[in-house]
A and B are shown apart, each in its own frame.
Chain A
Amino acid sequence: MIDLDPLVVGVIAGMVLVTYATKVGGLWLLGRIELSERAEVGLEALPGAIIVAIVAPELAGGGPPEWAAAGLAAVVAWRTDNLLVSLAVAMAAVLAFRAI
């Protein structure tokens, strides 16, 4: 249960190396090139686009209960600007809508 196989540790080390490279790669690369104004505009749009790209397929794969809960969470988040409250509403909503 607590044994560490040297080969497994080696695979994990390889995973750590490539993962850390991706985590620091973007910042490192941009520190070395001069960005145009257009590129800055793109960079500002990037976070929202990534979040939407993460969540859109998840919602598309869900059904009416998930869509309704997501919509309710969005309204509460917009009104309260509070993550914890919005998340509580989202979870309660998805459980309730699924039970219908």
Chain B
Amino acid sequence: MSVSFERSDVVAGFRTCLPVAVGVGGYGIAFGVLSRQAGLSVAEATLMSATVLAGASQLIAVELWDAPLPVVAIVVTTLVVNLRYVLMGASLRPWFEDLSPLQSYGSLFFVTDESWALSIADLRTGSGRGGFLLGAGLSIWVLWVATTAIGAAAGGAVGNPKRYGLDFVLTGIFVIIAVGLWRGREDLAPWAVAAGFAILGAEMLPGRWYILLGGLAGCLVAVIRHD
């Protein structure tokens, strides 16, 4: 399979991801507001969004924020919450092994759950658009950074996002992407197991460990059934 890295790939990724990025922007505003309440300045909150670019871990870090700053706890929690990216990066290998280190490792800086999911869906169709991930990641980056700044500057003037259904945006997006990833009956057992373990894990484990647990469990079922 040949994978390109064209400017048009990046543009396609950016465009496709834009509606998703608008949804992510709702979370950016929430993060900005929360980080101001936790004591970060507008510049600090915006800097964190621009460089860390991992929403769940940023929200948790801001929750841990205290005086004196629990530096080790924040950094270690960030690592643990983001371990799922190891799996996501691994899943990109069939396409990204053809890219240069700058292209692949540069694109991966901008990876988020949403841009990864859209890119996998695109690459699975055989599009060969290696630059799609970068474009998708950039559209989320732009919205995430801008809305963090807006949220932080606005402070507490924002109402409950549930009123506008914004809390459902990401759930809806992932359902739609899952439909595109469905490969047929072979996926039934792995997906059922992944869902079961994730639901159990979300009840019993802290943070976002349930994503790793469910993902690995589903993957294992596929491997076992292969024989």
Contacts and interface: CB of A to CB of B under 8 A. Distances in A.
Contacts of B5: none
Interface string B162-179: 001100111111111111
B210 A53 contact: yes
Contact of B57 (A15, A39, A69, A83): A15
Contact of B172 (A14, A22, A94): A94
Contacts, number: 279
A100 interface: no
A26 B75 contact: no
Given A23-B85, A43-B90, A91-B165, A4 B41 contact: yes
A12 B44 contact: yes
Nearest to A45: B222
Contacts of B198: 52-54, 56-57
A18 B210 contact: no
A54 B52 CA distance: 20
Name the interface size band of chain B. Answer: 35 or more
Chain A, interface SS category: helix
B194 A23 contact: no
B43 A1 contact: yes
Interface in A63-83: 66, 69-70, 73-74, 77-78, 81, 83
Contact of B83 (A11, A13, A22, A38): A22
A8 B199 contact: no
Interface of A: 1-5, 7-16, 18-31, 37-39, 41-62, 66, 69-70, 73-74, 77-78, 81, 83-84, 86-87, 90-91, 94-95, 98
Interface of B: 16, 19-20, 23, 40-44, 47-48, 51-54, 57-58, 61, 69, 71, 74-75, 78-79, 82-94, 96-97, 104-105, 108-109, 111, 113, 117-118, 120, 124, 153, 164-165, 168-183, 187, 190-191, 194-199, 201-202, 210-223, 226
